[in-house]
Every structure is written in C-alpha cells, then in structure tokens.
Structure 1
Amino acid sequence: MKIGFVNHARNIWDCAVTLLPRHDQLWYKYIHIEEMLGRYSNSRQIFERWMNWEPDKHGWMSYVKFELRYHAIGRARVIYVRFVVCRPMVQVWIKFAKFEMKNGEVARAKECCEKAVEKLADDKEAEQLFVDFAEFEEMCKETERARCIYKHAIDHIPKSWVEDLHKKDVAFEKQYGDREGIEDAVVGKR
C-alpha cells in the first residue's frame, strides 16, 4: 500500500481472510483499507463475507457502526435483524431496541422488546430484559404495561434469578402505584 501497489495489497488481504477467516483483526484491517480508499461497496462486500462466518458481537457491531457512519440506517437495521438471529442474546436485543429508540422508531423498539421477551423469557439474563422493557414502557408513559411486565417477570422468572427486579418493581410502585400496589410489591419482595 505504501509504495502504491493497491491491487497487490488487496490480493494479499483477500488471501489472508480466506486462509484465516476466524482471525478478526485481518478482517478489520482489510475493511479499513477499503474504507480509506473510499471503496464503500467493497467494504460492504467484505463485511458480508465476514458475517457469513458468524463472528462475535464486536464484528457485528463494527458492521452496524460502518453503516451508521454513512447514514444508512435501513442497512444498519437489516444487520441488527441478522445479528439477533445469529446471536440471540439479551444484550443484543437490548442494543437493537435502543438503536430503534435513538432513531425515533418507538413502535419498532416496542416490537423489538416484545420479540426479545418472546424468545428469551427463559434465559438467565431475562431479568435485565424485563427491567429494560419495563423502563422503556415507563419512558413511553405506559405505566400499566410496565406494571404488567414487572408482574409477569416476577411470576415467571425463577426466584433465584430475580435480584434487581424486586427493587425496581418496588421503586416503580412507589412512583406510580397506589397504596395497595406498593404493599403488594413490598410483600412480594419479602
């Protein structure tokens, strides 16, 4: 690259990622070179090849950030959909919902949270998912839905997994509930 043999450098990077497809740094550097040259379509093609290998969450997030740098929100949304299919984890769904909220898509963020609860309600990290979903509903001024989410989570998550959930439920009831709701939350916590 330094002496001007760009195509030779590309060929070397292509061979490197073909021979060592699980070595993430090679993909990052190959994409970085294409992006520096202003070849964004080539960068996308390289990202697509890399995503076929189902990299870790950092690889997926770098692809999302790449698309957001060039204001391709629709493409970033498609990548997030593929990301949650490849890596169905609570943190990934939460990031997806926050992405939708940040872009002003409240209905899509709500749909994202609902799908996450549907798919990951039995996960060990489901407590965080329920808390974030309830806080999202609270932020949208949907206090009854938030209350239902807390109740559903407390009833369905094993008692050994719910540490923070009871505290959040009590705080929620103190802020929005009546006397009976507060008492129920406190008794439920005990």
Structure 2
Amino acid sequence: MEETLGAVANARQVFDRWMAWRPGAPGWTSYVKFELRYGEVGRARAVFERFVAEHPRADAFLRYAGFEEKSGEMERARRVYERAADVLADDEEEAGTLFVAFAEFEECGEVERARAIRKYALDRVPKGRTEELHRKLLALEKQFGDRKGIEDAIVAKRS
C-alpha cells in the first residue's frame, strides 16, 4: 500500500519491520526486488547481506552471488562464493550445492580455480553426493585439461 502511494521510505520501513520477523527467502527476495525497482542497488546489496547473515544457507548465498553476477560484479560474486564456502564448509549438504555452483561460476573465466574447487568439494562432500561433481570434473577436464587430467578424473571417480 505504501509503495502504491509513492511513500517509498514508509514502504522500506514496512519491509524492515517484516524482516525483523525473520521471513523465509521469498520475503527477502521481495525486499531486494523492491529496492531494485527504485534503482537502489546498494540497498539491495545491503538487504542481501542481512539475508545471508540471517539465513546462512547455500540458496541464500547463491541468490546473492547470482545478483552480483547479473549486475556484472564478478569480483563481488566471487567474494560471496568464497565467504559462503567458509561459512558452509562444515555443512556437507549445503557445501555440496554451493561447490557445484561455485565451480560453474569459475568455469567462465578461471578454469584452474574451477578445477581446484571441484577437487576440494570431492574431498568435503559425502561420497553419496559426489556423482555430479565427478561428472562435471570429467567434463571440465575433457574440455580444458590434458590427458593426465582426464585420467585422474576417471580414476578419482572409480575410487
């Protein structure tokens, strides 16, 4: 209602009060979209910072990193992924999801980093969740690697 009346500052206060109730991802996403409708990229970034602090989960960090990628802020996106890796390192489920996305992000320009992330993830993620990681590592090696890298990826998958 506040927004339709043009009272953007009041609408922002409503969102802030709503966020105090700790809503799920859709609530935070609505707040980010609100800020972006008014061209407030810095405020949207601040909302994402609060979101990942409140909900330190892979999906929250991935939304934030995706926002930075779409904004053309690749270094910021990389820092979000790196921070997420630090925060989620002990949570095997969350880390698996994160590392797959982080490695895909790095494939766009940093093949060596993508390779290192995939190998790191294979050591951290439970064996039952590594099939996709192995498949993507092998695809990466086939595209950018040499014969030894491909052989290593195949051997790692078998073990």
Coarse TM-score class (shorter-chain normalised): over 0.9
SS of equivalent to 2:128: coil
Structure 2 residue aligned with 1:60: 28
The answer to whether the aligner puts 1:165 opposite 2:128 as a matched pair is no
- 1:71 is displaced (CA, Å) by 0.8
Q: Is the 8 A contact 1:170 1:186 kept in 2?
A: yes
C-alpha distance in 1, partners of 2:24/2:38? 23
TM-score normalised by L of structure 2: 0.95
Unpaired stretches in structure 2, ≥5 consecutive residues: none
Count the aligned residue pairs. 157
Deviations 1:27-78 (A, max 9, x none): xxxxxx1111111110000101111111111111100000011110000000
Structure whose CA Rg is larger: 1
Task: Give the aligned CA root-mean-square deviation in angstroms.
Answer: 0.9
Q: Paired residue for 1:125, among 94, 105, 130?
A: 94
Structure 2 residue aligned with 1:30: none
Structure 2 residue aligned with 1:156: 124
Structure 2 residue aligned with 1:107: 75
Q: Paired residue for 1:81, among 33, 49, 62?
A: 49
Q: How does 1:1-190 map to 2 (within 5 A)?
A: 33-123=1-91, 124-139=93-108, 141-190=109-158
Residue identity matched to 1:38: G
Q: Is the 8 A contact 1:67 1:73 kept in 2?
A: yes
Question: Which structure is richer in relative contact order (CA contacts within 8 A, separation 6 or more)?
Answer: 2
Structure 2 residue aligned with 1:26: none
Structure 2 residue aligned with 1:28: none
What is the identity percentage for the equivalent residue pairs of Structure 1 and Structure 2? Answer: 55
